[in-house]
Structure 1
């Protein structure tokens, strides 16, 4: 009798080698993409956009005859205790200023409820390499006004964005600052 060779296919060793190669390639792609840093960059982009939106709403309110309250840095975020505003309910009371005509909700920091959020700490304006200088901090937006000018601040967390705070014209190299105060040093 004639036996036909029915051993067509891959051996177990060949399959294991292919799976190992695919796993190594997937790991290399994952390391190259760095999803944690991508999430940090995304949240930082949201912070920059939020402060720009707040600035426009405040400026439009001022152009309509609104007045700036005199404060000493009252933050607006849910996680800062008694001095905070409920950002979804108190849009008409951003530190005493009615901006409800231009904003339906006060933006919140994307990490506002994350007690373990991280921020970048520069050393004399020098960016850290990797994430070595990142420390835990409450993530909130702040609004400060002396009645004439104002400053909005946010803390950024991506090492790719660490130069932004030192180049924003403000006096704090660890905070992104935006506003009408010359030098942004309220």
Structure 2
């Protein structure tokens, strides 16, 4: 009886080798870090789009910022979103890198959407916090010098995610 084929031991050895290689590749790729990097990249793109829309709106209007931004107190951090209260809840819960000091520190940038500078106000990808249109996970600060800083509340693999212009 001379049958050709693989023995059970040979098959088990091949399966074990494939499993070990798969485990090594999985550990080497570190999918959790890749997901965090992807969310951080999305945050960078979002704040870049926000600050560009704000500046283009300013140029198109001959100097003044959008009314919602002009009304803000200088050097105060505001949560971007449609909520009227609860703007500091993310900071209080430890989900925001920026210090939002007041419950009513929100700024609604829907005017940029209405005027056509943004398709929609971006919402940060969920990481530690859960973000909505009410509290987007992005903050805005208007300095007394007129410089606008937009910052992501969360930065998973970066020190900080912010742009100022």
1:55-92 CA-to-partner distances (Å, cap 9, x unmatched) read 110001111224232242121257996338xxxxxxxx
Q: What is the rounded CA distance, in whole Å, between the counterparts of 1:80 and 1:157 in structure 2? A: 27
Q: 1:80 to 1:13 in 2, by over 3 A?
A: farther
Q: 1:157 to 1:61 in 2, by over 3 A?
A: same
1:87 is matched with: none
Aligned counterpart for 2:54 among listed residues 55, 58, 71: 58
1:22 is matched with: 18
| Over 4 Å off, 4+ runs | 77-81
How much does 1:11 deviate? Answer: 1.1
User: How many residue pairs end up in the alignment?
Assistant: 132
2:162 is matched with: 177
1:15-62 CA-to-partner distances (Å, cap 9, x unmatched) read 110100000001111111111111111111111111110011000111
Identify unmatched segments of 5+ residues in structure 2. 89-105
1:166 is matched with: none
1:104 is matched with: 119
Superposition CA RMSD, Å: 3.1
Q: 1:14 to 1:28 in 2, by over 3 A?
A: same
Q: Name which structure has the greater RCO, CA cutoff 8 Å, separation 6+.
A: 2
TM-score if structure 1 supplies the norm length? 0.60
Higher Rg: 1
Q: What is the rounded CA distance, in whole Å, between the counterparts of 1:152 and 1:140 in structure 2? A: 11
Asked if structure 1 preserves the Cα contact closer than 8 Å seen for 2:80 and 2:108, the reply is no
Q: Secondary structure at the match of 1:74?
A: strand
Asked if structure 1 preserves the Cα contact closer than 8 Å seen for 2:81 and 2:108, the reply is no
